Amino acid sequence: MTITPDAVRVFAPAKINLFLHVGDKRADGFHALQSLVVFAGAGDELTFELADGISLVLEGLFAGVLSADTDNLVLKAARALASRSACEQGARITLTKNLPVASGIGGGSADAAASLRGLARLWDLDVSQDLLHEIGAILGSDIPVCIASVPAWMEGRGETVTAVNVPGAAMVLVNPGVAVPTGKVFAALKERRGVGMPLPPIMKSVPELIAYLKTTTNDLEAPAREIAPVIGEVLDTLATQQGVMLARMSGSGATCFSLFESDAAANNAAAKISKQNPGWWVAATAA
């Protein structure tokens, strides 16, 4: 978070599900989940300035596919925070949308969480992380884990979050430009690993992390590939890059990630994939 005399600027990093297991549907209609989540160096940016009323301006590569209407999660988060804190101040929010939309990396959820953090600072509110977490859980399943944006073990429908230590790793993110609606992916889900895994062990190295992740899966990958077969092409492309250690889909797709043995290997792979697939969004980053 960057604070100037005139504005507050907040980074909203991409949320990466290193694995995602799906359990039975709960009484509230949501499936029980378990996931190990990390946050990437790639993300959106939000700027908050005091103003009359609450408004949203959209900028950036993927701004054109969003709408700044009342259903936008950033505005919903802003109004919810103002209501819960009895704050009568306003804000002009500028969202620079660098992440693809409906892509399985929690862009909208990360933006909503950043809205809560940024406005709490702009409005100088005495609010706890627990309250921000509570507001986020009402607005969306992925928002609570994005409040702190640190590696976490996520359970329930996403609202139960436990911070964990995960070794940092070089990463490449690839999205083929296909939006995959989460509801359709869950509707197409046939087989699932289920929940019940214990908290992950302490892992001090990337090889230990890779060994652990190979005992897990993303239950949503199969149905997502049925809906968008290009996901399979992305995963095959990532899996054949030099220095790759693991390739997997994040969330409900279509963004996929790969972990690499070095930053150089990740950068080289990203450059190669971008050149061969100019229509794909590709980012070399770290988690």
Over residues 79-105, mean pLDDT = 96
**Residues of each domain in the chain carrying CATH 3.30.70.890:** 170-286
Over residues 240-267, mean pLDDT = 98
Place of tokens 């990093």: 13
**Tokens describing residue 186:** 């869950």
Task: List, in order, residues 6 or more apart from 98 with CB less than 8 Å away.
Answer: 42, 43, 44, 45, 60, 61, 62
**What CATH fold (topology level) applies to the domain 170-286?**
Alpha-Beta Plaits (3.30.70)
Place of tokens 């596919």: 65
pLDDT at residue 70 above 80?
Answer: no
Is 9 strand, coil or helix?
Answer: strand
Angle at 118 between CA 286 and CA 11, to 5 degrees: 20
CA distance 74 to 94: 10
* DSSP H or E segment with residue 143: helix 143-148
Q: 65 falls in which pLDDT band (50, 70, 90)? A: confident
As a whole number of Å, the CA-based R_g of the chain is 19
**Cis status of the peptide bond prior to 254, with omega within 30 of 0:** yes
Q: 126 falls in which pLDDT band (50, 70, 90)? A: very high
Over residues 27-41, mean pLDDT = 95
CATH of 2-163, one of 3.20.130.10, 3.40.50.2020, 3.40.50.300, 3.30.230.10: 3.30.230.10
Query: Helix crossing, 129-139 with 73-85: angle to 10°?
Result: 130
Edge-to-edge strand order for the sheet containing 256-260?
Answer: 244-249, 256-260, 170-175, 281-286
CA distance 58 to 249: 27
Rounded to whole angstroms, what are the CA distances from 55 to 69, 113, 116, 148?
A: 9, 17, 14, 24
Q: 68 falls in which pLDDT band (50, 70, 90)? A: confident
**Tokens describing residue 274:** 């971008």
pLDDT at residue 230 above 80?
Answer: yes
**Can you give the length of the chain in residues?**
287
Q: 6 falls in which pLDDT band (50, 70, 90)? A: confident
Higher-pLDDT residue of 67, 3: 67
Residues known to be catalytic = 15, 142
- Does residue 15 contact residue 110 with C-beta atoms inside 8 Å? yes
**Residues of each domain in the chain carrying CATH 3.30.230.10:** 2-163
* DSSP H or E segment with residue 186: helix 182-187
pTM: 0.95
Over residues 50-60, mean pLDDT = 97
Place of tokens 């005495």: 126
Instruction: Give strand ranges (E) for the chain.
Output: 2-3, 8-25, 31-51, 54-59, 90-96, 152-155, 160-163, 170-175, 244-249, 256-260, 281-286
Task: List, in order, residues 6 or more apart from 81 with CB less than 8 Å away.
Answer: 87, 115, 116, 119, 120, 125, 127, 132, 135
pLDDT at residue 4 above 90?
Answer: no
